[in-house]
Structure 1
Amino acid sequence: MGAFLPLLLLAVAANAGLLPTPSHALTQDGLHLLDAKRALTVPDGALADWNPTSATPCAWTGVTCDAAGAVTALSLANANLAGPFPASLCRIPLLASLDLSANYLGPEAAVAGCKALTRLDLSVNSFVGPLPAALAGLPDLLYLSLEGNNFSGPIPPSFATFRKLQSLSLVNNLLGGEVPAFLGSVSTLHELNLSYNPFSPGPLPSSLGGLAALRVLWLASCNLVGPIPPSLGRLRNLTDLDLSTNSLTGPIPPALTALTSIVQIELYNNSLSGAIPSGFGKLADLRSVDLAMNRLSGAIPADLFESPKLETLHLYSNALTGPVPDSAAKAASLVELRLFANRLNGTLPADLGRATPLVCLDVSDNAISGEIPRGICDRGELEELLMLNNALTGRIPDGLGRCHRLRRVRLSNNRLDGDVPGAVWGLPHVALLELNDNRLTGEISPVIAGAANLSNLVVSNNRLTGRIPSEIGSVAKLYEFSADGNMLSGPLPSSLGGLAELGRLVLHNNSLSGQLLRGIHSWKKLSELNLADNGFTGAIPPELGDLPVLNYLDLSGNRLTGQVPVELENLKLNQFNVSNNQLSGQLPPQYATEAYRGSFLGNPGLCGDIAGLCSDSRGRAGNRPGFVWMMRSIFIFAAVVLVLGVAWFYWRYRSFKKAKLSAERSKWTLTSFHKVSFSEHDILDCLDEDNVIGSGASGKVYKAVLGNGEVVAVKKLWGAAPKKKDDAGSNGDNEGSAAAAADSSFDAEVRTLSKIRHKNIVKLLCCCTHDDSKLLVYEYMPNGSLGDVLHSSKAGLLDWSTRYKIALDAAEGLSYLHQDCVPAIVHRDVKSNNILLDAEFSACVADFGVAKVVETAGRAPKSMSVIAGSCGYIAPEYAYTLRVNEKSDIYSFGVVLLELVTGKPPVDPEFGEKDLVKWVCSTIDQKGVEPVLDSRLDMSFKEEISRVLNIGLICASSLPINRPAMRRVVKMLQEVRAEARPKLEPYYYDDTSDQGSSV
């Protein structure tokens, strides 16, 4: 009866229609897939067609079946899935291909049971811990990609036992140990990708030279040290060799010239030395060679240019000598030649460019002499011509005027002479024309009206004459016009006032005349105006005070008359100079201080409260000689008495302070988190107001130069007086709150930073405490904060490569906090002012005073009692829910990316009621991408800049679910630069055919 009852119930259910009839029953493979779906967190609407009423899963999203209806492949990449790896997938008996890349799966990859797999892709997820050693037990596995996760520890020895593996990619994890030699035992490998892992310093295993079938060897940024083993020369099937960004030393082995199938060699950013070996020219398929940023010396081998397919050659930032070989002019396929920052000399090959389809030529920062080759652009392909800082002579070739694809021309700091060819002024695609510091003559041609894309025109320190043509007003994208140090004459053309993109106008030290321009309301982006040392007359236009971002104004050394307009008080000027003119009248109150004395000297008619600017000579008693002598005597006597009194008081005060300080110092306690070579007394000696370098909500920051020469930064948190009892009670409460806030900030920062060890997190060396006084001692970052540099006159230091590096550094620091710290840490105040820059402009995330630890998984995000963060950076949902999680940091980081791309602060009067995110979105909708990009950037990187802009907008999405995890953001940023240089596509085995395929 007990066995019969369940059968009876099933029959009744079937008759009632509660169970599907056998003709519509879902296959067992489909049931396993539904189990997998239930184990995951799936976004609403996703996998909606995974319906249990289906007869077969073969039409479901991502599912592939064979002719018999069995599931053989599942691809759910970028599906926003979250949760553990679904073990039920391994119960599908014929599942050969599984792609779950770019999701949020983790923490463990339990795939040991998937015995039928030939292809497994779990890249860009959230897996942690050691690599699964059992993967090597999958008997038919051909392709394995685990890149872009958080796997740590060494590569397990079992990985030496793969039976059929052809492609192994572990790129961008946290793997340790050395690059293992036992991988040389996996003889079936076609592709080995281990790049961007923090391996322990170790050699490049010579055993890898035994992988006879290897086609791709990608070991960039793997902490490799020592020489390149000559055994790699035995890899006759190798097409792509990338050992860049390591610490490899010694010479380039001549054996590498035996790589007969090689297409791409990348050894840049190492410490390789010696000469470049001869023999690369005989490699018939060689297309790209990058040996930049090493210590290579000697001459460039002539045969290097003889490889028939050579397209790209990068040898910059070495110590190469001698001339550029004549064979360079015969390289029939050469597209890009970058030789800058070497010690090359001699002349360039006279025929360079005639037979070579050059797109980019960069020989800057050498000692090259002679003329620019006449036929440098005869093939009409040239887009970049960069020859600055050499000893070139002669005229600019007329042929450049016919080179209509040119985008960047930099010929500055040479000895070029003669007139600039007229057509060069009007090249239609040139964004940067830099001819400064030469001996060029002639006039700026009216043809410049045709330069529709010109952004930066720099012709300073030449011998140019004549008027500035009115046609310059047609160059609508012009951001910088620098022509100082010439002999230009005549008035400023009124058309200049209509240039809405103009950010720098530098024309000092010419012979310009006439009145300064009126009607300049279009100059909303002008930050620098320098018209000093000319012959301008008339009044200073009051309209200058309406320019919203003007911070550098120099009108000195002219013949300007009238008053200093009071409207100039609207400006926030870092540099202000109207000295040596003929100005008169009272100064505006804001400028009538001693601090601005140097700004007004040499204007006899100016009056103000600055001593010596003007004197009142209207014959009052105070001007009689006897009275003046008497008053002077009284003032001198009073001054002597005052000085003596101050000196006595200062001596007494110093004695008292020294005694008190000596007593107080003994009460200080130093707690170190790293090995330090100083004491708390050394720190206290440096807390002088002259050493203050910053001040914020939590305290002052001092630059401390210690006795041993070490420089550190010291943050002294704001203290509060003991709580007082008064009638109202308010004063004491406020002070108590301040003290509590300081204590909270100190505790949070110490608790957070004392445990963190990451190159992109500012290092907390130690802390010092005494009663309610608290000091935090950090490593010193000499370039200050990103915000200070980016939004000041120093922004010119940040070219695109530097900005990109800062973005990637900061992203890696935040990724470490979010996904590598256990439990995760949310910064809560990510902003450009909390990203600090070292001497090399590497970035570190700083200021953890409001950082919070995220609650463990499964619990709701913690709600805070107050909003932490800064205006313009706060995520929309944080402002009204006060929920703390990583998504709020990601929004703030998105704003930082937009700052780097646009050059604008997060809030600005230019945006009206909008913040930076909304301004960027609305501007792109109305005008496209171009108007939001910082015009100071080199637009040859426009594709990269636009990609980073897109990443910033994704991070700053209004919906938290649309923001990628920081680990994904790091990956996206790395792909920006990786995709900018051609890279061979990875090889993998495709089981649907007999041959390999690429993805």
Structure 2
Amino acid sequence: MVSWKHKFLSISFLLFFLSCLYRVDSTSRDSDVLIRVKNAAISDPNGRLKNWVPSSADAPCNWTGVACNSNHSVISIDIGSMGLSGPFPSGFCLARTLQNLTISDNCFSGTISSESLSLCSQLHHLNISSNEFVGKMPDFSPDFLNLRILDFTANNFSGDIPESFGRLPALQVLKLYGNFLDGVIPEFLCNLTELTNFELAYNPFKPGRLPLAIGNLKKLENLWLPFANLVGEIPVSIGGLVSLKNLDLSSNSLSGNIPDTIGQLRSVVQIELYENQLSGQLPETLGNLTSLLKFDASQNNLTGPLPDQLAKLPLLSLNLNDNRLQGKVPAILAANPNLLQLKLFNNSFSGELPEELGLNSDLNDFDVSTNKFSGPLPPTLCHRKNLRRLITFNNRFSGNLPESLGDCTSLAYVRIFDNCFSDTLPAPFWSLPELYFLELANNRFEGVIPSTISGASRLTALLLSDNKFYGELPPQICSLLQLVDLDLRKNHFSGELPPCVTALSNLQKLELQENVFSGKFPSNLSSWRSLTELNLSNNQFSGEIPSELGDLPVLTYLDLSDNSFSGEIPSELSKMKLNKFNFSNNELKGRVPAGLNRQFYVNSLLGNPNLCSPDLEQLHPCRKTRAVSIYLVATLSTLTLLLVAPLFWFYKSKLCSNGTISKRSYQITKFQRVGFGFNEEDIFSSLTDENLIGTGGSGRVYRVKLKSGQMVAVKKLWGGYRIPETEAVFRSEVETLGSARHRNIVKLLFSCIGEDFMVLVYEYMANGSLGDVLHGDGGGGLGDWRRRSMIAVGAAQGLAYLHHYCVPAIVHRDVKSNNILLDEEFRPRVADFGLAKALRREVGESGGFMSRVAGSYGYIAPEYGYTLKVTEKSDVYSFGVVLMELVTGKRPNDPSFCENKGLVKWVAEAALSVSPQPESDGSSRDLGQLAQIIDPKINPSTYDVEEIRNVVEIALLCTATFPMNRPSMRKVVELLKDQPVPHQK
């Protein structure tokens, strides 16, 4: 009789044998499925799936990206970020036990049909984000009973959200952001009662309301809907989201009051409502949100006082700028132990700030500018030595600056101008080691600048105008080697300037007007290669004007009026490219140099009794030379003319025969001073292949050296008047640049029109275009982030000038890195205005020129594709692309991107790579792995990650899908300037 033990062993062996057979069969089947799909549908140029071969009994469980259960059945395929391409690999779902399919961050493309998707009904997790899928999103069949995570983020899906998306009973995570969905956010999504994460941001939806039944989603923890074109009021049902931690409805067009029911979100940590049209008062029920760490309702139309209840919350960040709030700030706000950021600027708050504000918190960012605050600043603002930004301008603050700020060693950025502060500054305040921007203008401060200012070695801007400072400038001010802007006008400074001030090689603006400075102005100015503006007016300077001023390459504004300068005006000043100069009311004498002897400049020369001119009636005529001299000069001139004229016509006919300039009659129009030795014939003769430096769609560009040594760039347009579009390009350049005067706009020196040619002559940019330098080998001198940052600010200033200071406003229409030129110091000039248009002429204009594509591939704003309209916001979008180029070093359509993925999408995906869920410290979402997108050519010692992070944020704002969500160029300049100045570590 067989014992029970033998029976048990036999049965166990049989079960083990059968399970092995099943396992071998299951493993073999899954291997076949995966290899068949890989070979038939997936392109793997980097060989990331090269180990997908049936080499062992463990295959495919040991393959890259594959995970199995205990039975060796495939349950997960995660092949994200492997550079793969092909259609949607629905065949993977034939592996019957597959639960997770992740193909994110690849180059998969094409449409996804509902039929192919139906093969995957057993999935729990489907992630196809950051690919190139197009068309309408597929329908889900009723068999998708277990799908918990659905991520279609950052593709090119369009159209409506299918109704079947509302019939996924187990769905917990729905991510559709960063597509081109253009329906509305449907009500049926509120049927997904298991949902915890709901992200539909950054889609061009039609204007629509937030679903009224949104409160049904009781388990929802993250509602992320910025840039979703939401309109109307926030529904009262929002209070039903009792599990919500992050509420982000920013950058929409929501209106009406914030509902009282928002106070029912007891779990909420972060509320983002900025950039909407909300009105009314802040609800007092906000005081119920005891977990709230960050509240931002800035840039709305909110009114009324700040509720005491809000001030009691454990907030890390409170941002209510750009509203119409009024009244006093609650004193209880000072008791908040968590507050890191307080921004109340651009409101109508009044009264005094709470006396102990900052005493109990680690406040680091404080901005209450443009309100009606009065009284002193709280002495405890920097109590814990964490305050970095102090901004209070445009208020009525008075009294002394608190002594405690002198010990605030963390302070880096101070703007407290336009107030009523008085008395002297705390002595240690002048030497704060982190301070890089100090603006105290238009107050009543007094006292001297102490020698200890050398301790503030990071200062880039020292702006003290309209105060009562006095005394001599200490030589230690020359230790501020990073100084870019020094503005001391309208004070009582006296004495001579320290000679070493000319060693400040980064200085761009020096404004000393309306003081009592005296003595000679320092010479040896060779280090001032960056100086663009020098104003010494209304002082007591004496001595001769330094001739070295004429050698400053970018000086465009020079005012020496109302002083006691003497001697002759140096002839070297004639070669300067000044937009404005003023030498009036001095003691100058002698003949006005030829380059300044013009009626246009006469008012800038008056008040110098001993100046003379042979042509300007307002000045004394210069004494005539003796008759013999006149006779000799006349004789020599006649002989010269007789000898040169035949040579001139012979030379010109030679030019015609060579095809350079084919007609003798042409018209010259000068717009800027070119310099001595200028002769248009010299330019024409230099348009040879040896001097060719570039060829573009409208003509060829040559480098030409004038007899004076000045270098110019000459563009000879194709075909002349025989090609209407060429004529339009010529006229656009002339009309735009002929009157433009800005240091960041390329200067048009003169134009020349003949019967069959058109020539434009510009100032020469030694370093070529930003695009050529940026994308050339080795980075071309752009390894220093500070230099790239300078280029970004300068180019933004040039565009802001066109948009906001030209009348009518000018749209460039072709902003790109190749149209930003760099001089010998890498200072930028916006160039190539062949497509530029004044806005007043855009309305109703038609014709061949308007039919041309406005812009260059990779830089064109998305709305152009369906409206064919170009506005200032189109330029803003293109500039955002340029910012991304500066950060990444990649071209807008770099070959490393997928076929339909450009730089904008690549950077946006990197920025969105981390969940927008607030961190435990209340900080907002991270920008992803910046190290993966920062140009490796940039020296890491020249930047902080935070600096580049800020620029990426600005670039993302500029490239928003909807034009209305992009900032103006003037705002872009402010944002770029407000970033911490890059510094050497």
> Would you say same fold, with TM above 0.5?
yes
2:129 pairs with 1:123: yes
SS of equivalent residue, structure 1 residue 133: coil
SS of equivalent residue, structure 1 residue 404: coil
Structure-2 change in CA distance of 1:734 and 1:346 (3 Å): closer
Deviations 1:27-77 (A, max 9, x none): 443444444444234334544444565662444433333344333323333
Structure-2 change in CA distance of 1:878 and 1:798 (3 Å): closer
What is the identity, as a one-letter code, of the residue corresponding to 1:102?
D
Shift of 1:328: 0.9
1:200-349 maps to which residues of 2 (within 5 A)?
Answer: 200-307=206-313, 309-349=314-354
1:929 to 933, 942, 947: 942
Q: Distance in 1 between matches of 2:904 and 2:251?
A: 30
2:103 pairs with 1:97: no
Deviations 1:322-372 (A, max 9, x none): 111101111111111111111111111111111222111111100011111
Q: Distance in 2 between matches of 1:148 and 1:878?
A: 20
1:88 to 83, 91, 98: 91
Deviations 1:247-277 (A, max 9, x none): 2222111111111111111111112111111
Structure-2 change in CA distance of 1:592 and 1:106 (3 Å): same
2:375 to 370, 395, 408: 370
1:874-885 maps to which residues of 2 (within 5 A)?
Answer: none
Structure-2 change in CA distance of 1:222 and 1:469 (3 Å): same
Q: Distance in 2 between matches of 1:426 and 1:482?
A: 18
Any conservation in 2 of the 1:790–1:798 contact (CA below 8 Å)?
Answer: no
Shift of 1:415: 0.5
SS of equivalent residue, structure 1 residue 220: coil
Determine the structure 2 residue equivalent to 1:739.
723
Structure-2 change in CA distance of 1:940 and 1:161 (3 Å): closer
Structure-2 change in CA distance of 1:966 and 1:292 (3 Å): closer
Q: Distance in 2 between matches of 1:191 and 1:379?
A: 37
Any conservation in 2 of the 1:435–1:460 contact (CA below 8 Å)?
Answer: yes
Deviations 1:597-651 (A, max 9, x none): 2332223333444332331345989xxxxxxxxxxxxxxxxxxxxxxxxxxxxxx
SS of equivalent residue, structure 2 residue 284: coil
2:70 pairs with 1:70: no
Structure-2 change in CA distance of 1:562 and 1:408 (3 Å): same
Q: Distance in 1 between matches of 2:400 and 2:175?
A: 53
Shift of 1:567: 3.2
Q: Distance in 2 between matches of 1:333 and 1:850?
A: 50
1:495-506 maps to which residues of 2 (within 5 A)?
Answer: 495-506=500-511
Determine the structure 2 residue equivalent to 1:649.
none
Shift of 1:566: 3.4
Structure-2 change in CA distance of 1:266 and 1:25 (3 Å): closer
Q: Distance in 2 between matches of 1:42 and 1:295?
A: 53
Any conservation in 1 of the 2:718–2:726 contact (CA below 8 Å)?
Answer: no
Determine the structure 2 residue equivalent to 1:182.
188
Bigger drift between 71-80 and 386-395 goes to 71-80
Q: Distance in 1 between matches of 2:239 and 2:953?
A: 38
Structure-2 change in CA distance of 1:356 and 1:833 (3 Å): farther
What is the identity, as a one-letter code, of the residue corresponding to 1:611?
E
Shift of 1:124: 2.1
Any conservation in 1 of the 2:582–2:605 contact (CA below 8 Å)?
Answer: yes
2:361 to 356, 365, 384: 356
What is the TM-score with the length of structure 1 in the denominator?
Answer: 0.64
Determine the structure 1 residue equivalent to 2:111.
108
Any conservation in 1 of the 2:537–2:563 contact (CA below 8 Å)?
Answer: yes
SS of equivalent residue, structure 1 residue 388: coil
Determine the structure 2 residue equivalent to 1:524.
529
Deviations 1:797-855 (A, max 9, x none): 699xx9xxxxxx999999xxxxxxxxxxxxxx99898688989xxxxx9994587999x
What is the identity, as a one-letter code, of the residue corresponding to 1:929?
T
1:557-596 maps to which residues of 2 (within 5 A)?
Answer: 557-596=562-601
Any conservation in 2 of the 1:305–1:328 contact (CA below 8 Å)?
Answer: yes
Any conservation in 1 of the 2:370–2:393 contact (CA below 8 Å)?
Answer: yes
SS of equivalent residue, structure 2 residue 351: coil
Shift of 1:156: 1.0
Shift of 1:942: 2.3
Q: Distance in 1 between matches of 2:831 and 2:728?
A: 18
Shift of 1:499: 1.9
2:439 to 408, 419, 434: 434
Q: Distance in 1 between matches of 2:799 and 2:425?
A: 27
2:63 pairs with 1:79: no
What is the identity, as a one-letter code, of the residue corresponding to 2:407?
R
What is the identity, as a one-letter code, of the residue corresponding to 1:295?
N
2:44 pairs with 1:42: yes
How many equivalent pairs are there?
716
Any conservation in 2 of the 1:836–1:846 contact (CA below 8 Å)?
Answer: no
What is the identity, as a one-letter code, of the residue corresponding to 1:344?
F
Bigger drift between 583-592 and 472-481 goes to 583-592
Any conservation in 2 of the 1:82–1:105 contact (CA below 8 Å)?
Answer: yes
What is the identity, as a one-letter code, of the residue corresponding to 1:456?
A
Shift of 1:400: 0.3
Shift of 1:78: 3.0
Q: Distance in 2 between matches of 1:929 and 1:893?
A: 27
Deviations 1:539-578 (A, max 9, x none): 2223323333222222222222233333334432222222
2:481 pairs with 1:462: no
Structure-2 change in CA distance of 1:966 and 1:189 (3 Å): closer
Any conservation in 2 of the 1:788–1:833 contact (CA below 8 Å)?
Answer: no
2:392 pairs with 1:387: yes
Shift of 1:532: 1.6
Bigger drift between 611-620 and 474-483 goes to 611-620
Structure-2 change in CA distance of 1:54 and 1:611 (3 Å): farther
Shift of 1:149: 1.7
2:421 pairs with 1:416: yes
Structure-2 change in CA distance of 1:135 and 1:443 (3 Å): farther
Any conservation in 1 of the 2:440–2:464 contact (CA below 8 Å)?
Answer: yes
Structure 1 gaps, min length 5? 1-21, 622-689, 693-716, 720-732, 747-771, 773-786, 803-808, 815-828, 840-844, 855-868, 896-919, 931-938, 953-964, 981-999
Structure-2 change in CA distance of 1:519 and 1:95 (3 Å): farther
Q: Distance in 1 between matches of 2:125 and 2:906?
A: 35
2:452 to 447, 460, 478: 447
What is the identity, as a one-letter code, of the residue corresponding to 2:44?
V
1:145 to 144, 151, 156: 151
Q: Distance in 1 between matches of 2:178 and 2:903?
A: 23
SS of equivalent residue, structure 1 residue 279: helix
Any conservation in 2 of the 1:890–1:966 contact (CA below 8 Å)?
Answer: no
What is the identity, as a one-letter code, of the residue corresponding to 1:510?
N
SS of equivalent residue, structure 1 residue 280: helix
Deviations 1:495-550 (A, max 9, x none): 32222222221111111122222233222222222222211222222332333322
SS of equivalent residue, structure 1 residue 281: helix
Determine the structure 2 residue equivalent to 1:542.
547
Identity of aligned residues (%): 35
Structure-2 change in CA distance of 1:114 and 1:447 (3 Å): same
Q: Distance in 2 between matches of 1:375 and 1:493?
A: 37
SS of equivalent residue, structure 1 residue 303: helix
1:791-810 maps to which residues of 2 (within 5 A)?
Answer: 791=794
Structure-2 change in CA distance of 1:851 and 1:832 (3 Å): closer
Shift of 1:174: 1.6
What is the identity, as a one-letter code, of the residue corresponding to 2:581?
F
1:859-938 maps to which residues of 2 (within 5 A)?
Answer: 924-925=938-939, 928-930=941-943
